[in-house]
Structure 1
Amino acid sequence: MSSLGLGGIGGIGLHVIVAIFFAVHAVRTHQNMYWLLLLFLFPGLGSVVYFFAVYLPSLRQTRGARAAGRAIRQIVDPNRAVREARDAFDRAPTVDHRMRLGAALLDAGQPAEALTHYQTAANGPFASDPALLEGLARAQVATGQPAPAQATLETLFSHHPHAREQATPSLLYAQALAATGAPGTRAAFEQALTSASDAAPRCLFADWLAAQPDAADRERAKALYADIVHDARHWPRHAREHNREWLQRAQAALGQ
């Protein structure tokens, strides 16, 4: 009898813990408040419904999951995204379809053509659109145009200040400043580190630090490279694939 009672208490406790976990997720991601009511009134059933309706789809939208998905699609059908985006643009040459094609071209390693699409879109009424400006800056950096990229990103930050704290724009800005030797490069990389979700900012900052004359900077560069190598031991497979370039660069810099 006592063992049955303990089992019941343990089961109820687990349901409550899971429900609390999902409730915290709901609050942090600004879900409708009726989810909290469902989770606390029906912790078991509510948790199951929340997992499939909200939590699992949100996992698929993380940057790591999107990167892993792109990597898989590139292996299975490397031209599919560009082909589908080009077909959509040919049928309806809207700004949205032009930006989709530009993003697909960038992911496929064709930044020059992507740049022409983003430049064309930037001359229209959506010139201050954050996705457009970020894509344009990506294409400018990828085609070796850091000064225009810096200007594009400063336009982005002026219209959308929160973008300065986002991973991709903050890293692009640091790269642009580093390439032109502009003041503020160090601060830009520090900002990129606070927004980072992968190893790229650490590796690129370490590359920049390693080229500085101060011995303390070179020591910090070694520490950043070492952090990447250390963290790689715990990365899941998709993270290792996504960060392969940065891990190899860190290992090479450390002479491993």
Structure 2
Amino acid sequence: MSSYLGFGGIGLHVIVAIFFAVHAVRTHQNMYWLLLLFIFPGLGSIVYFFAIYLPSLRQTRGARAAGRAIRQIVDPNRAVREARDAFDRAPTVDARMRLGAALLDADNPAEALGHYQAAANGPFASDPALLLGLGRAQFATGQYTDARQTLERLFDVNPISREQSDSTLLYARTLAALGSESTRAAFEQALTNASDVAARCLFADWLMKQPDAADRERAKALYAEIVHDARHWPRHAREHNREWLQRAQAALG
């Protein structure tokens, strides 16, 4: 009796196997997983869970964000410490960039900038990841003119970065800090490339500071879009966009 707890007399282990089979098809797993799940639904489901399903959960944005948050609470200096140890063992450009990124995430942009500048003086000076990290560090330390030059160089050597969310949003924020006439167009481009609501919120923040009443009305509309869309976000999206949602709510409130 206990083996038939599913719907319509279907065994629970069969229902679980069907669930994993759907996951296997959607994620384009090897067909032998389907054979394993349907020939041995109980054992196959256990194997699939640990071999495929659980690792895939850990790779989702929400899982990564949650993992980072937990690590930050339990051991806030771990990422920097590990990156520094790796750089001490092998001071390669990759290790230096990893340390720079960890320092930026730990709100230590001044030290991060030193590492990125050192890396930029070597043969990898045109590496897109290096240029983006350097631009982030320059922006975070208030060196907006340098950040603009770095990001424009990034766009030149890696044209696809003009269509990527991180680089285009950072460029728009840099132009805004410089009071550039190109700020509006840069934010519009960032909106087109956006992977989350940060671009909408930051563009709205900029629009609210403009003298034209139409700009302020559009800013309110962007804030309202964020609050409205948040009603339909899954949990990981709400966590990822929490700062921007709170800012939008405060602006409307």
Q: TM-score, normalised by structure 1?
A: 0.78
Residues 65, 140 of structure 1: alpha-carbon distance in 2 compared, 3 angstrom cutoff: farther
CA distance in 2, matches of 1:190, 1:54: 39
Q: Which amino acid aligns with 1:229?
A: V
Task: Give yes or no for contact 2:58–2:64 (8 Å, CA) kept in 1.
Answer: yes
Task: Give yes or no for contact 1:68–1:242 (8 Å, CA) kept in 2.
Answer: no
Give the deviation of 1:171 after TM superposition. 1.0
CA distance in 1, matches of 2:82, 2:195: 28
Pairing 1:217-236 to 2, within 5 Å after superposition: 217-236=215-234
Give the deviation of 1:53 after TM superposition. 5.4
Q: Give the match for residue 159 of structure 1.
A: 157
Q: Which amino acid aligns with 1:213?
A: P
Q: Which amino acid aligns with 2:240?
A: H
Residues 53, 148 of structure 1: alpha-carbon distance in 2 compared, 3 angstrom cutoff: farther
- Please state whether the residue corresponding to 1:157 is helix, strand or coil: helix
CA distance in 1, matches of 2:36, 2:183: 52
The percentage of counterpart residues that share the same residue type is 74
Q: Which runs of 5+ in 1 are unaligned?
A: 1-5, 27-34
Q: Give the match for residue 243 of structure 1.
A: 241
Q: Give the match for residue 147 of structure 2.
A: 149
Residues 79, 17 of structure 1: alpha-carbon distance in 2 compared, 3 angstrom cutoff: closer
Matching of residue 85 in structure 1 with residue 74 in structure 2? no
Q: Give the match for residue 199 of structure 2.
A: 201
Residues 154, 41 of structure 1: alpha-carbon distance in 2 compared, 3 angstrom cutoff: farther
Task: Give yes or no for contact 2:20–2:48 (8 Å, CA) kept in 1.
Answer: no
Say how many residue pairs are matched. 244
Task: Give yes or no for contact 1:137–1:152 (8 Å, CA) kept in 2.
Answer: yes
CA distance in 2, matches of 1:127, 1:148: 15
Q: TM-score, normalised by structure 2?
A: 0.79
Partner deviation per Cα, 1:149-207 (whole Å, 9 max, x = no partner)? 12111221222222222221121111111111223322222222233232211110101
Residues 36, 95 of structure 1: alpha-carbon distance in 2 compared, 3 angstrom cutoff: same
Partner deviation per Cα, 1:4-45 (whole Å, 9 max, x = no partner)? xx989xxx9x9899767754544xxxxxxxx46557877858
Pairing 1:95-134 to 2, within 5 Å after superposition: 95-134=93-132
Q: Which amino acid aligns with 1:158?
A: D
Task: Give yes or no for contact 1:23–1:39 (8 Å, CA) kept in 2.
Answer: no
Q: Give the match for residue 210 of structure 1.
A: 208
Q: Which amino acid aligns with 1:77?
A: D
Q: Which runs of 5+ in 2 are unaligned?
A: 1-7
Q: Which amino acid aligns with 1:146?
A: Y
Give the deviation of 1:222 after TM superposition. 0.5
CA distance in 2, matches of 1:91, 1:152: 29
Partner deviation per Cα, 1:37-89 (whole Å, 9 max, x = no partner)? 55787785899988765665455344444333222211111111111111111
